[in-house]
């Protein structure tokens, strides 16, 4: 909530204090809309997150326009990769064209089906990769599950 240009948190969301995490927050201009915030820890064992409305999804979205397994987010110490899983309505990411470091407070707009999300990656020295090939080259030495 914003009052006199000062931002106040309406609730306290527990976020991991040790290590990286991703945060996805639904955003909408609809006043009847329910806001949902997803926080997922990035660990050595868990570096890939499935987004969708199906049971197998790590991050579940309750939108009929979202496929059961809509997209994947893969995180490494070198960056992250967002991949659409041949979904019917696609996955859109609004971001600058050049790779850049993303500070923890920066959010990118991400649209999955009709759901718009603010994506934040909380980790130091993370940059956006230009392509799947660039991320694949950087992930060769890291195992991704």
Instruction: Report pLDDT for 82.
Output: 84
Q: How many residues belong to the chain?
A: 145
Question: Is the pLDDT assigned to residue 97 strictly greater than 90?
Answer: no
CA distances from 98 to 82, 106, 120 (A): 15, 15, 17
User: Residue 26's closest CA among 103, 121, 100, 107?
Assistant: 107
* Average of per-residue pLDDT across 67-86: 85
* Average of per-residue pLDDT across 17-43: 76
Instruction: Report pLDDT for 31.
Output: 59
Mean pLDDT of the chain: 75
- pTM score of the predicted model: 0.68
pLDDT band at 59 (very low <50, low <70, confident <90, very high): very high
Task: Give the residue extent of every domain in the chain.
Answer: 21-129
* Average of per-residue pLDDT across 11-15: 68
CATH architecture of 21-129: Sandwich (2.60)
Listed ranges 85-89, 118-122, 123-127; the one with the highest mean pLDDT: 85-89
> Distance (Å, rounded) from C-alpha 35 to C-alpha 27?
7
């Amino acid at each position: 909530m914003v009052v006199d240009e000062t931002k106040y948190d309406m609730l306290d969301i527990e976020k991991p204090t040790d290590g990286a995490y991703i945060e996805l927050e639904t955003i909408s201009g609809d006043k009847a809309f329910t806001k949902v915030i997803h926080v997922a820890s990035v660990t050595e064992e868990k570096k890939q997150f499935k987004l969708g409305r199906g049971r197998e999804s790590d991050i579940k979205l309750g939108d009929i326009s979202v496929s059961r397994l809509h997209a994947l987010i893969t995180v490494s110490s070198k960056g992250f990769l967002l991949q659409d899983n041949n979904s019917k309505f696609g996955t859109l990411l609004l971001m600058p064209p050049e790779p850049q470091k993303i500070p923890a407070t920066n959010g990118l707009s991400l649209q999955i089906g009709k759901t718009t999300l603010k994506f934040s990656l909380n980790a130091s020295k993370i940059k956006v990769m230009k392509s799947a090939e660039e991320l694949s080259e950087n992930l060769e030495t890291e195992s991704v599950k």
